[in-house]
Structure 1
Amino acid sequence: MNRLDSTAVVMAPQNATARWAMAGLSLSMLLSSLGTSIANVALPTLAASFDASFQAVQWVVLAYLIAITGTIVAAGRLGDVLGRRRLLLGGITVFTVASVLCSLAPSLWWLIGARGLQGVGAAMMMSLTMALVGEAVPKEQTGRAMGLLGTMSAVGTALGPTLGGLLIAAGGWEAIFLIKLPLGIATLILAQRCLAADARPVAIPRTAFDTTGVVVLALTLAAYALAMTINKGSYGLINGMLLLTALVGGGLFVWLEARTQAPLLQPALFRQRPLSAGFAMSALVTAVVMATLVVGPFYLASAFELDAARVGLVMSSGPLVAALSGVPAGRLVDRFGPQRMAVAGLVAMLLGAFTLPPLSASLGLPGYVSALAFITAGYALFQAANNTAVMTHGSAEQRGLVSGLLNLSRNLGLITGASLMGAVFVRGAATSDFTALAPQAAYAGLTLAFSVAGAFVLTALVIAVRSSAAAQRP
């Protein structure tokens, strides 16, 4: 056997193992994304089943979102200390058990508590899935692996409402949580069998984990998430107090980190331009993507007189484009480099954001969908490029923490976008009565909202260009 044949024989099992490992990581990403979107469609059913107000059942969604936001950084750091594979398996187990507890909920508050526990499991899955990519695939294939994870995230987001509606019709609201039991077991088996064992020991030095910092940061992020999501973005005294709490908590966290022996977040981490730029851009562009999900339904229903089913169909075109673009985007990143592709993705998003209002006004629904396709395809390319740049730049010892911060920036962008873009749309439409929203008012709101969205993308583009220029300097 010559050397070439020998190399082929040796590499084949490694490639097969990598493929199965990526299958497990992809399922993990799909499950956590599905958990975010599948419960929304069940809110009216839950309100009727538990005889609760709409404001009360909204906590079924908020509990999941706030739990992820508050624990995702700690989950990534804990993975660095305990072992990423070990903690990922624990996260999948927590998520699966919590899903069963959700389906057995005898009361609304039981369900809300179980959803919070499910969010903790999802935080472990989200942060450690990306962190483990560097150990599952060769470095030259990181871009396509990140593209695949982006595709699975988009598929989970797009599939959630449709699958949730079918499951509720077939088996009641309990079915949307029970479906995660077989999926969770399959994900757990794949991850356990195909991911490489952790080299780190289970024993943790007392100074290796900043417990106080984790608690303060989790409470700070939870206060911010609550301030941005309660009262549907109509800011009042409670929102202001929560924002003040978040500001005080942030200051306390910085003060504590400067004085602890093993800080959760080291200031030097944010002085690395590729990392700080990646976090900032991720938050900005996900706020823009959220604008399409928050503003879109009101504009489509008013301007084109679409019913709820058709609105949902049009809105699903965005995640569908992102899902189809994910893997090709990853291949482009591997071929041309993450810096160039991040800029290209942002240019596409900028074009889509600034042309969405005029194209929808001149071409109607095809114009709206075309501009939306530019935004979501550009986002898929940017996400694959930015995730690759950030995860390959971070040190191997901090990969879990960096992944947690990257997911946190995305989550904060989604929360801020949902609140801010909704408020901007209301201001542009000059009305808060959406039951009889005139097409002209809806267009004015859309124009103002996507002007702000375009400014966000433009800011991210400036950051990307400056970061790319700095990376090319000797």
Structure 2
Amino acid sequence: MVEHPHDDEAGPLSLSRTHDTVLTAPAEEPAHSRRYGRRVISVTSVTALLTGLNTSGLDVALPGIIRHFQASAAQTSWIVLSYLLAGTVLLLVWGRLADLFGRRRLYLTGVAVFAAASVCCALAPDTRFLILGRILQGVGSSAIVANTTALLADSFPPERLPRALGVNATLISATQAAGPLLGGAVTNLWGWSGIFWVSGATGLVALGWAAHILRPDRNSGPSERFDLAGALLSVLFLGGGALALTESGPRGWTSGTVVLSATVSLAAFLVFPLVQSRRRYPLLDSWLFRDRRRTMALLAAFLTATSYFSVVLVMSLYLQTLEHLDALSAGFQVMLMAVGSMLTSLLAGHLSTRCPARMLASAGTATSALGIAVLALALGPPAPAGLTGLGLFLTGAGAGLFGVPNTDALLSLVPAHRRGIANGVRSLLQNTGYLISTVLTLTLVTGHGRSGEGRGTTPPALDLNNSPEALAGRYQTALAVLFCLCLAATAASLLRGSALPPEPPPTRTAPPDRPGPGKSARTEGTE
């Protein structure tokens, strides 16, 4: 017998090409084995610590970064936004590439890039290098995020997927809860760069564990072509739009940079659907939006992300500037939001098999709206610790209650070989919500976009020469905007309609264009 361990097409049963002898690989587990599914969750939980530490954890360390670099409001915004911008722009591309070339390859690449970028951030001598490192972190993070849910969906059968998503969401919430706490502790011990050193070390651990656990990708190459034109147009559309949005504050809507970015984004947006309609294998198939349940699930995910994401940033800045807490103490309080999400995510995983996604997800967004309203009313200074704690807990609890049923409802309406791009679209809209939420919050709270700011100018939200009432008003205005967005998310979730049996996977015959030399015209599965 001759084994071929490096033959990518070899599965649990491999035929020796020499003697046609069946070889059984006992180490290979069934596709949906409980043991393998739990191992995949352990992988995603470690990488969740990476992304959680660089969002909620960095929020707590942000005041220290501002003081160290004497960063202006615009530079402060880009330290936060560059990570989200790079991650958002590439989500569709990573999701589609994973469908074609394998999730494991793309996932490991993302973890490696993220770990290396974290070390670059820790060594940054000034804000320019720090922002460059944050961009590279976003590139790696987008590859991780675009593949996480699809990896889980491939590892669990449909009847166990909601619970798996609930467990994964609980672990993510736990890392988000640890993010502010760990970020505050690391910042107090080693300064702002400690956040990135810990991320680099955790990234190396995550890379080794994922390489050990995740099964090798079976396909030796794509069965469909990658839509390069669509990928370039999506990057131009998303990148140009995000750049115009973030630069409109400090430069104004009439500046050359903003006008050029907006023009490129609009042109790419108009050309993108035309190009996609002519592609046999488009980057983004319009089929995904033809069902109201899928469309409303995606819209609700976008609005929910926009409404709750910046609550941690708002409260971290508020507690350290107006309540005069140190980074660790602020991290303890903000941690309540992730604790709420952690508890309800696990509950939502069990309830998703019994309750309609429409009602469960809508109850979640309504709970988050109540929590944000409590926070807006509680801000002082001084703000009652009990009310702020309650508001943070309710906001996180609602987010946890929403995420699991909404994601499960979306994936149940998507065929397996399109989970990568479907999750990429969901992650894209979610990250776009994060980006818009952060831009709005920084504009309203730190004064990003106000004229007269230069290098070394203290952002108004950190300038204690302003009256406490004026500063508190900034935070309350930001929370009021987030509250309205959360109400809109509740409406979108309710509009998805009544629960219906999942529609069968749609089939699409390839367009009747002539095949190339040596190729046959054949139908390529479902889309």
TM-score range relative to shorter protein: 0.7 to 0.9
- 2:487 corresponds to 1:458: yes
Q: 2:398 aligns with which of 378, 401, 413?
A: 378
- 2:423 corresponds to 1:403: yes
CA shift, 1:305, in A, is 4.1
The answer on whether the counterparts of 1:31 and 1:183 sit within 8 Å (CA) in structure 2 is yes
Amino acid at match of 1:367: L
Amino acid at match of 1:462: A
CA shift, 1:384, in A, is 1.4
The answer on whether the counterparts of 2:251 and 2:258 sit within 8 Å (CA) in structure 1 is no
Counterpart position of 2:165 = 146
The size of the alignment, in residue pairs, is 459
The answer on whether the counterparts of 2:91 and 2:427 sit within 8 Å (CA) in structure 1 is yes
1:431-442 superposed matches below 5 A: 434=461, 435=464
Measured in 1, the distance between the counterparts of 2:446 and 2:204 equals 44
CA deviation string 1:105-133 (max 9, x = no partner): 56654443333222211111111011111
- 2:44 corresponds to 1:25: yes
CA shift, 1:318, in A, is 1.4
Q: 1:112 aligns with which of 128, 131, 149?
A: 131
CA shift, 1:82, in A, is 0.4
Q: 1:81 aligns with which of 100, 125, 134?
A: 100
SS of residue paired to 1:468: coil
The answer on whether the counterparts of 2:357 and 2:499 sit within 8 Å (CA) in structure 1 is no
Measured in 2, the distance between the counterparts of 1:88 and 1:392 equals 23
CA shift, 1:395, in A, is 1.5
Measured in 1, the distance between the counterparts of 2:280 and 2:296 equals 27
Distance 1:409 1:307, change over 3 A: same
The answer on whether the counterparts of 2:92 and 2:424 sit within 8 Å (CA) in structure 1 is yes
The answer on whether the counterparts of 2:233 and 2:272 sit within 8 Å (CA) in structure 1 is yes
1:64-79 superposed matches below 5 A: 64-79=83-98
- 2:229 corresponds to 1:212: yes
Counterpart position of 1:3 = none
Counterpart position of 2:500 = 471
Identity of aligned residues (%): 29
Counterpart position of 1:266 = 285
SS of residue paired to 1:139: coil
SS of residue paired to 1:393: coil
Distance 1:44 1:128, change over 3 A: same
CA shift, 1:270, in A, is 1.2
**251-260 or 393-402, larger mean C-alpha shift:** 251-260
CA shift, 1:84, in A, is 1.1
CA shift, 1:214, in A, is 1.1
CA shift, 1:243, in A, is 3.6
CA shift, 1:402, in A, is 1.0
Amino acid at match of 1:252: V
SS of residue paired to 1:145: helix
Counterpart position of 1:237 = 254
Gaps of 5+ in 1: 1-9
Counterpart position of 1:6 = none
Counterpart position of 1:278 = 297
Amino acid at match of 1:215: L
Q: 2:408 aligns with which of 388, 397, 400?
A: 388
Give the alignment's TM-score, normalised by structure 1: 0.83
The answer on whether the counterparts of 2:94 and 2:142 sit within 8 Å (CA) in structure 1 is yes
Measured in 1, the distance between the counterparts of 2:397 and 2:66 equals 36
The answer on whether the counterparts of 2:241 and 2:262 sit within 8 Å (CA) in structure 1 is yes
| Larger Rg computed on CA atoms | 2
Amino acid at match of 1:407: S
Measured in 2, the distance between the counterparts of 1:54 and 1:371 equals 28
Measured in 2, the distance between the counterparts of 1:16 and 1:119 equals 31
CA deviation string 1:144-200 (max 9, x = no partner): 322233233334444334434443554555543332344223323332333333332
Gaps of 5+ in 2: 1-28, 448-458, 504-527
Q: 1:96 aligns with which of 98, 115, 118?
A: 115
- 2:146 corresponds to 1:127: yes
The answer on whether the counterparts of 1:22 and 1:136 sit within 8 Å (CA) in structure 2 is no
- 2:243 corresponds to 1:223: no
Q: 2:433 aligns with which of 389, 397, 413?
A: 413
Distance 1:162 1:224, change over 3 A: farther
SS of residue paired to 1:152: helix
Distance 1:234 1:276, change over 3 A: farther
Measured in 2, the distance between the counterparts of 1:178 and 1:372 equals 28
Bigger proportion of residues as helix: 1
The answer on whether the counterparts of 2:361 and 2:402 sit within 8 Å (CA) in structure 1 is yes
SS of residue paired to 1:471: coil
Measured in 1, the distance between the counterparts of 2:399 and 2:439 equals 20
Amino acid at match of 1:221: L
The answer on whether the counterparts of 1:91 and 1:122 sit within 8 Å (CA) in structure 2 is yes
Measured in 2, the distance between the counterparts of 1:28 and 1:356 equals 30
CA deviation string 1:47-95 (max 9, x = no partner): 6767876644654433322210111111011000001122112222222
CA shift, 1:443, in A, is 6.4
Distance 1:136 1:79, change over 3 A: same
Counterpart position of 1:296 = 315
Counterpart position of 1:348 = 367
**85-94 or 417-426, larger mean C-alpha shift:** 417-426
Distance 1:166 1:21, change over 3 A: same
1:150-161 superposed matches below 5 A: 150-161=169-180
Distance 1:250 1:313, change over 3 A: same
Distance 1:106 1:292, change over 3 A: closer
Distance 1:26 1:375, change over 3 A: same
Measured in 1, the distance between the counterparts of 2:446 and 2:81 equals 22
**216-225 or 381-390, larger mean C-alpha shift:** 216-225
The answer on whether the counterparts of 1:228 and 1:415 sit within 8 Å (CA) in structure 2 is no
CA shift, 1:424, in A, is 6.0
Distance 1:163 1:134, change over 3 A: same
Counterpart position of 2:7 = none
SS of residue paired to 1:250: helix
